[in-house]
Structure 1
Amino acid sequence: MDWLFIMKPADTVADGVSSGKDRMLELAGTEPRREWCLSRWRRMAPGDRLWIYFAAPVREIAAVAEIEDKPYEVTGSPRRPWRFTATLNPAATRRLHRDPVPLHALSNRHPQGVTRVKDSDLELLLKHAGL
């Protein structure tokens, strides 16, 4: 299954740095295995893909990761109580960084939270990522 994960580049990730697409490209090459957070449980499974959509101002998908485990609940984090591990695909993320998929090219032009990628959009994402 393929999932769309929304990141706001103005926010910071766990290591205290920007979550923008340039930083995600850097992490794909240096520390691709990451822990990701969710506000709600999702039916994710190992082997699913996580397409990373960078919200305002860029509004494009420019990274992809493979999910390694099912989401698990953690205590002490009421806003994002679910975690999972996914590894950024360095080659596909480099390709998407150079040739991102703009939001206006997708059928879901108003993504909310973490959602499934529509079948009609998957071919375009795979092509841009070289997968």
Structure 2
Amino acid sequence: MREWLYPVDPKTADRDGKPPRPDRYLKFAEAGRTQFWGLTAKRHIQLGDRLWVYFKLPLGIVAAMAEVEDEPYEIQDDPDGFLWEFPAALNLEATRALNLDPVPLSALSNQRPQGVGGVSDADLVTFLRHAGM
């Protein structure tokens, strides 16, 4: 199992046309539905991996966690420029805890997270603590 930092931009719209915000992701977790997450390049994401959702500036916080349910697969003609997508479900308990106690950008070893990337061991300890795991 690998841990991934998955940045979302609160200044742009998700696939449903609304901006990604921690409280919306908590509602998605409470609904218990699988979501499809996009990638601009294929990564080594696998079933069972975890995504730590980083809400970019101006929020600058990690406030949700999702568990990957299947491998990425190639897609065609995505209007957002994603070439790959995969299903993952938000973990309700971890997302609820992270909404109450988000991890600020200042606590991350990578002070400029851009694309989807691996999580450092030090950051994982912080994420797990804030997620109540």
Q: Tell me if the contact between 1:10 and 1:20 (Cα under 8 Å) persists in the aligned partners.
A: no
Runs of 4+ off more than 2 Å = none
Displacement of 1:23 = 0.9
**For 1:1-40, what aligned pairs fall within 5 Å after superposition?**
1-40=2-41
**For 1:1-131, what aligned pairs fall within 5 Å after superposition?**
1-77=2-78, 79-131=81-133
Structure 2 gap segments, 5+ residues each:
none
Q: Tell me if the contact between 1:21 and 1:63 (Cα under 8 Å) persists in the aligned partners.
A: yes
Displacement of 1:9 = 1.1
Q: Tell me if the contact between 1:8 and 1:54 (Cα under 8 Å) persists in the aligned partners.
A: yes
Q: Between the two proteins, what is the percent identity of the paired residues?
A: 46
Distance 1:108 1:56 in 2: 14
Structure 1 gap segments, 5+ residues each:
none
What's the CA shift string for 1:18-54, capped at 9, x where partnerless?
2111111111111441001011100001110000000
User: Over aligned residue pairs, what C-alpha RMSD do you find?
Assistant: 1.2
* Secondary structure, counterpart of 1:93 in structure 2: helix
Distance 1:86 1:130 in 2: 20
Alignment TM-score, normalising by the size of structure 2: 0.94
